[in-house]
Amino acid sequence: MWQQPWGYREGLIIGLGLFVTGILLQLSIGGIDWSLISFPVNVILGIGLVLVVVAMHLLRGRIHLFRWLSSYQAAVASLLWVGGITIVMGLTKQMPSGHSAVDPLGFSQMIASWPFTLLYLWLVLALCLATVRVGWPRQWRQVPFFLNHAGLIIALVAGVLGNADMQRLKMTCKIGQAEWRATDESGQLVELPLAIELEHFQIDEYPPKLMVISNDSGKTLPEGNPQHLSLEDSLASGKLLEWEIQVTASIPMAGSMVTEDTIRFVDFHSMGDTYAAHIEATNKQTGERKAGWVSAGSFVFPYKPLRLDSLTSLVMPEREPRRYASLVKVYTQEQTITEGTIEVNRPIKISGWKIYQLSYDETKGRWSDVSVFELVRDPWLPIVYVGIGMLMLGAIGLFINAQRKKDKEEAL
């Protein structure tokens, strides 16, 4: 071992040394605060990385370590170590960005841990030195290798260095009011170069459901696999547990009226209306019958269950949203006004920001006059996409070259 030229065993031991060094750093000084390398520090670090790689390349004839780092054995060893620690990351519950790790080794915040960072840096150096060693492609067969390695380097480096410049903010907007302030992950108020005015909020809901719950625990029955009846327009009857359910009347937009001895529902086409259904339930085993109104309620009217017996009740849970969206106007410092609809997973893109629908006032449901948006800005993302594009082109080129070589061998 340690006889020149070094091989895979030396590479695995070097990886172990970096891992142990990272653990010691993690235990002694804690994790890495990536916010400290925001612009322009990350640009300076990127330039420094380029200079270090060039220096190591020029000195590789004198220093064996530098020469070995550009070898195939070093690349494979670094990939094995980075792949292994990535698997550990996948098996460990990760804390959200901006939160500290909950374990002393930092595995619950792997991106900010020293072991991961040192092994990651080793992989990047190995890729850079291998790419520089091959040099600028002079023949077509060298182009796929260069694109593949250079693209991977660009994607990896830009993804890490640009992480500190990424902004993820939360903004709460009320109908008719323009808002230009948002909060970051630590709750600090941030003023933005754009403003959002919520014009209208709309929500489509799934049909209401009927379920049986335990009077003692409030849990739906059967526990672990609850049954339900969906009140579609065509539904007139159904079965829940040992009860036959008959829907005798339904009011999609209802309001409750309380009398001296009962509660009844009437049409109520106004803010806060709720869905109500008149139910007749018959127990198939005992023949017992129960009848009455069931409603999910709203922020105006209380929910109304139907007590079936001493153990169970029939209830209508709150309706689940199928789709919700916000019609907005976005104002920018350049005095442009953009109108659009923001939905979950369908953001608006403007001025380098992506604006996502995050939530709404769930207490008011479809009557919500508030929308909560998530605003994301990642100025390094286009560079990452360029790297991924180069990587894919290189992979296609390598496949074509391999197929051509195979065809030539078969022709011989």
Summarize pLDDT for 138-180 with one digit per residue, the tens.
777 788 888 988 999 999 999 889 988 999 999 999 999 999 9
Q: Determine the pLDDT at residue 264.
A: 87
- 235 has pLDDT over 80: no
Q: Determine the pLDDT at residue 260.
A: 67
Calculate mean pLDDT across residues 8-37. Answer: 91
Alpha helices of 135-252 — where are they, by DSSP H?
143-161
Cβ atoms of 379 and 132 within 8 Å: the answer is: no
Mean pLDDT of the chain: 90
Pairing between strand 370-377 and 353-360? antiparallel
Q: Determine the pLDDT at residue 323.
A: 92
Confidence of residue 402 (pLDDT cuts 50, 70, 90): confident
Task: Return d(Cα 408, Cα 412) in angstroms, integer.
Answer: 6
- 320 has pLDDT over 80: yes
Q: pLDDT over 70 for what percent of the chain? A: 97
- DSSP per position, 325-354: EEEEEEEETTS-EEEEEEETTB-EEETTEE
CB atoms within 10 A of CB 82: 19
Confidence of residue 411 (pLDDT cuts 50, 70, 90): low
The amino acid at residue 98 is G
Q: Determine the pLDDT at residue 212.
A: 95
Cβ atoms of 236 and 246 within 8 Å: the answer is: yes
Confidence of residue 398 (pLDDT cuts 50, 70, 90): confident
Q: Determine the pLDDT at residue 177.
A: 94
Q: Determine the pLDDT at residue 26.
A: 93
- 409 has pLDDT over 80: no
User: In this structure, what token pair is assigned to residue 403?
Assistant: 């197929």
- 412 has pLDDT over 70: no
Any residues with CB less than 8 A from the CB of 315 and at least 6 apart, and which?
210, 211, 212, 213, 294, 303, 305, 306
Residues of the chain with CATH 2.60.98.10: 167-204+322-377
- DSSP per position, 74-131: HHHHHHHHHHHHHHHHHHSPPPPTTS--SSTT-GGGGGG-HHHHHHHHHHHHHHHHHH
Task: Return d(Cα 217, Cα 175) in angstroms, integer.
Answer: 39
- 136 has pLDDT over 90: no
pLDDT tens, 96-129? 766 777 888 889 989 889 999 999 999 999 999 9
Q: pLDDT over 90 for what percent of the chain? A: 64
Calculate mean pLDDT across residues 238-250. Answer: 92
List phi, psi (to 5°) of 3.
Answer: -90, 135
- 406 has pLDDT over 90: no
CATH architecture, domain 167-204+322-377: Sandwich (2.60)
Calculate mean pLDDT across residues 312-318. Answer: 95
Q: Determine the pLDDT at residue 277.
A: 94
Q: Determine the pLDDT at residue 316.
A: 95
List phi, psi (to 5°) of 326.
Answer: -125, 130
CA distances from 9 to 20, 63, 68 (A): 17, 19, 13
Cβ atoms of 358 and 182 within 8 Å: the answer is: no
- Spell out a b/e string for 263-272, using b for 16 or more CB atoms within 10 Å of the CB, else e: eebeebeeee
Higher pLDDT, 258 or 97: 258
Calculate mean pLDDT across residues 349-356. Answer: 93
pTM, 2 dp: 0.77
